[in-house]
A = this chain, B = another copy of it.
Amino acid sequence: MSSPLRIGIAGLGTVGASTVRLLGVHAAALEARCGRPLRVTAVSARDRNRDRGIDVSGCIWFDDPVALARSESCDVFVELVGGDEGPARAAVEAAIASGKHVVTANKALLAKHGAALAAAAEAKGVGLFFEASVAGGIPIVKTLRESLSGNAVTRVAGILNGTCNYILSRMELEGLTFADCLADAQKLGYAEADPTFDVGGFDTAHKLAVLTSLAFGTEIDAEAIHVEGISSIDPLDLKMADELGYRIKLLGVAERTATGIEQRVHPTMVAKTSAIAQVMGVTNAVNVRADAVGELTLVGPGAGGDATASSVLSDLADVARGLRVPPFGRPAGALQRAERAPMQRHEGGYYVRLTVLDRPGAAASIATRMAERAISLESIVQRRAPGRTPDAAGRSGGPVPVVLITYATTESAIRAALDAVMADGHIAEPPQLIRIERP
C-alpha cells in the first residue's frame, strides 16, 4: 500500500469543518479511489476550544497557519482562511516554498496573486488546486482545465454569486424591492453584514478572473473586468423583463472578441427559455461555448460547507493520485497577456428604461437620438404613470416609464444616444440600462 497523503488544513469554518468531516466519512472510498489513505494530520484555526462537531484531537494544532504551512506535518496544505493578503497569502507562499501542494478556496487571493502563485508552484514542482474557489460544488475548474483540453473556448458566462441570484429570484417572484430582499438574505445568512462585496459584483469578478484565465490561457487580469452590481435593479425592471420574455441575472461573462478578451460583470437580461434563466435561488451555473464541444452548462450549489468541501476533496483526491497539471491549464510562462477589449466597444442588445416627462416632444427626442446613432429598436413599451389621473389630452403630467429594447449596437453608441436624450430635457432621472445576452 502506498503511503498516506498527509493533509494540513488552515481555517476550520463551515468549509473546513465539512472537509474534515467528509474526509472521515468517506475515508475508505477515498483510499480505494486514490490508491492511498487521505489523512488530516494538522489543523490551524483561531479558537482551539470551539465545538465544530468534528474530531481533530489526533491532529497537530497550529495557532498560526503560516507555521502549519512551513511545518513537516503535512504533504498538502489546504488554505481556507480567506483574504487576498495577510495570513492566507503568507501561508500559501510558505507552503509552496517548503515544497507542499496547495489546495485553496480563495478566489480573492487567486484574482490578485494567482499568476505569481502558479509560477511559484511550478518552479517548486508542486500542485496548486482551487476547484472550490469558483461556483462551490460545480466542477468548472477541472472541466475547463482538463475536460476541454481539446477545445478553443470562445465564451464563458455564469451565475457565480448565490446571494445575488437569491435576491434577484425573490425580487422577481415576490415583487419585492432590492433593499427588502437584501435585509431578508442577511437574516437568513445568505448575505454578509457588509453586502457590498456580493451585491456590488466584486465576488463574481474574482471568480470570473479565475475562469477567464482557465478558459483562454491568459494571465489573470481582474483589473480589466467591468463591474456593475445589482443594487440599481428596480422591481419595475423585473416586471418589464418578464413581460418582454426575459429574466434578470447577475452574470460574469468573459468572451473572446475581435478587439480582445472582454470581461464583464453586470445585471443581464437572459431569455426566459434559456438554460441559465432557469437557475433560481442560491444555485450557480456556468455556461461554456467552445469550438469542439459547442455548448456546455453546469448547474449546482454555489456555496455551502459540504458542497464547497466536495470541491476541496476533489482537489485532494487529485493530489493523492499524483495528478500533474499546470494550475491554470498551461505553464505559467505560456499564459498570454490578453488584449483587453474595452467596454465601450461591447456589442449587444440593450434594455433601456427611461423615466420620461409626459409632454410633447419626448417620444420624438428618443426616436431621433437613437436613429442618429443608427440604433434600431426591437420593442418600445410605455406605461401610464401609476396613480395619476390623466388630463383632457390623456396626459398625466408626471414622469412615465418608457422601456426600449434595442437590436445589437455598441456600448458607446447607446451611451451617446442616452446622453443626447438627457440633454434634450425630457428625462426625469438617469436612465436604467441593462445589457441583453443572446443565446
Binding site for B on A (CB under 8 A): 18, 22-23, 25-26, 29-30, 32-35, 131, 137-139, 142-143, 146-152, 217, 273, 275, 278, 290-301, 304, 306-307, 309-314, 316-318, 321-326, 329-331, 334
Contact = CB atoms under 8 A, between A and B. Distances in A.
B298 A296 contact: yes
A296 B151 contact: no
B293 A310 contact: yes
Given A300-B293, A310-B151, A310-B293, A32 B317 contact: no
A148 B314 contact: yes
Nearest to A291: B306
A212 B217 CA distance: 34
Given A137-B293, A292-B18, A298 B298 contact: yes
Given A217-B32, A296-B298, A321 B325 contact: yes
A292 B21 CA distance: 10
B34 A296 contact: no
5 contacts: A26-B150, A29-B152, A33-B149, A294-B306, A294-B307
Given A292-B18, A301-B293, A330-B33, A309 B150 contact: yes
Contacts of A273: 278
Contacts of A29: 149, 152, 217, 330
B147 A314 contact: yes
Contacts of A331: 32, 35
Contact of A137 (B25, B32, B292, B306): B292
A282 to B, nearest CB: 11
Most buried by B among A291, A297, A309, A334: A297
A120 B208 CA distance: 43
Nearest to A151: B310
Given A34-B149, A142-B142, A152-B26, A297 B298 contact: yes
A137 B294 contact: yes
A310 B300 CA distance: 23
Question: Within the oligomer, what is the number of copies of this chain?
Answer: 2
For the complex of A and B, the 3 pairs showing the least CB-CB separation, nearest first, are: A150-B313, A139-B147, A149-B317
Given A23-B150, A29-B217, 6 more contacts: A26-B150, A35-B324, A131-B147, A293-B306, A296-B300, A298-B299
Contact of A275 (B278, B290, B321, B326): B278
Most buried by B among A148, A293, A301, A313: A293
Contacts of A152: 25-26, 29
Contacts of A322: 324
A224 to B, nearest CB: 22
A401 B45 CA distance: 66
A166 to B, nearest CB: 15
Contacts of A326: 33
B316 A150 contact: yes
A67 B156 CA distance: 43
A150 B15 CA distance: 14
A436 to B, nearest CB: 20
Contacts of A291: 25, 306
A323 B34 CA distance: 11
A217 B25 CA distance: 16
Contacts of A292: 18, 22, 137, 306-307, 309-310, 313
A26 B151 contact: yes
A301 B309 contact: no
Contact of A139 (B131, B143, B306): B143
